[in-house]
Amino acid sequence: MFEPSTLKDIAKALGLSTSTVSRALRDTHEISPETKKIVLEYAEKINYRPNPIALSLKERRSKSIGVIVSEVANHYFSQAINGIESIAYSRGYHVIITQTHESYEREKANIQHLASRSVDGLLVSLSAETSDTSYLQSLHKRGLPMVFFDRVADDIETHKIIANNEKGAFEATEYLIKKGCKRIAHLTSSAHLSISIERLEGYKQALEKYGLPFNQDYVKYCPHGGMFYEETETAVKELMALEEKPDAIFIAGDRLSIGCLVVLKNLKINIPEDINVTGFSNSDVLDLFNPPLTSVRQPAFEMGQIATEKLIKLIESKYPVYEFEKEVLETSLQVRDDL
């Protein structure tokens, strides 16, 4: 069985007291530079590592952050996680990643497990099924620091990092209108998600600006954000069965964008001959489609970094924090089909 070296082992080997060794390793001013050098060199030689459990009991911190996302395979979330890790590890925090697969029950179980494991804070992007955040509110009231990113809870007072969803959706819809499309459908995730609400608003604003009517029949919701192929397939088939078929689709999600292209291909509907498409996606896979798909890209890596910075600030604050920010990062429209 693996037995890591302890402070006592170092003290015994060097003929010092454990408190002297502890202070030397913490680089406190009471210990002479010579003693520090001897202790640090010996600790390095025997590959000494402080016991994180003992440290966390002393500091009442576990130095770990829980992350809740719908799925790691989603390009947007994998980039956000890279941003989260880049900050967390540089600040001495470990990251525990959990996936909800767009399930409210799984999200709740994951978060309660993380909280019971004494993580110092949570970075949360809500699942498509989540409309009731009361369990999160109770953890928040009990003092567990949390920051929301991408899919946020309006009823919890804390930092929120989002993309400019309205502007991104407006630009993607405007792009289709400028290509001559008149009947633009909108494929989106569950209706109550913050990103769905904001992207629908941007879509409506573009239609209004160019004098096109808003048609509720052209808006299709996928309650699990396209996690299941059948969900996307049903929505696209319903659109194509309309008397006045859409001549374009603006898709409001990463997984939905790729799923919709697969459905159209399987239905032998050609882009752009039969229909034009724009999406919200951070996937470079879109470059491989023929023709490539024009899409709205979110600054996922930066969102992850900013959310983590804000969470660590909450965790390490010596006083309660009452001032919170909603930070909105700009999206960019990646025009691909004119390449």
Structural domains in the chain plus CATH codes: 7-50 (1.10.260.40), 60-163+300-329 (3.40.50.2300), 165-297 (3.40.50.2300)
Give the chain's mean pLDDT: 88
Using the predicted structure, report yes or no on whether residue 142 has a pLDDT greater than 60.
yes
* Residue among 238, 67, 241 at smallest CA distance from 146: 67
Lowest average pLDDT, out of 8-12, 98-102, 330-334, goes to 8-12
Mean of pLDDT values over 320-338: 86
Using the predicted structure, report yes or no on whether residue 91 has a pLDDT greater than 60.
yes
**What pLDDT does 326 receive?**
93
**What pLDDT does 209 receive?**
96
How far is the C-alpha of 47 from the C-alpha of 315, rounded, in Å?
A: 29
Q: What's 224's DSSP letter?
A: T
pLDDT band at 23 (very low <50, low <70, confident <90, very high): confident
Q: Report which residue type is found at 12.
A: K
Using the predicted structure, report yes or no on whether residue 19 has a pLDDT greater than 50.
yes
3-state SS assignment for residue 210: coil
pLDDT band at 3 (very low <50, low <70, confident <90, very high): low
Using the predicted structure, report yes or no on whether residue 61 has a pLDDT greater than 80.
no
**What pLDDT does 175 receive?**
95
Query: Phi then psi for 163, rounded to 5 degrees?
Result: -90, 160
Using the predicted structure, report yes or no on whether residue 21 has a pLDDT greater than 50.
yes
Going by C-beta distance under 8 Å and a sequence separation of 6 or more, which residues neighbour residue 271? 261, 264, 277, 291, 293
pLDDT band at 272 (very low <50, low <70, confident <90, very high): confident
Question: Do you find a cis peptide bond into 272, omega within 30 degrees of 0?
Answer: yes
Question: Which is more confidently placed, 289 or 38?
Answer: 38
How far is the C-alpha of 230 from the C-alpha of 224, rounded, in Å?
A: 11
**What pLDDT does 120 receive?**
93
Mean of pLDDT values over 12-26: 83
Q: pLDDT (tens digit, 9 = 90+) per residue, 62-85?
A: 799 999 999 988 888 999 999 999
Is the Cβ–Cβ distance between 229 and 106 less than 8 Å? Answer: no
pLDDT band at 53 (very low <50, low <70, confident <90, very high): very low
CA angle 218, 220, 222 (to 5 degrees): 170
How far is the C-alpha of 303 from the C-alpha of 326, rounded, in Å?
A: 12
Using the predicted structure, report yes or no on whether residue 277 has a pLDDT greater than 50.
yes
**What pLDDT does 288 receive?**
65
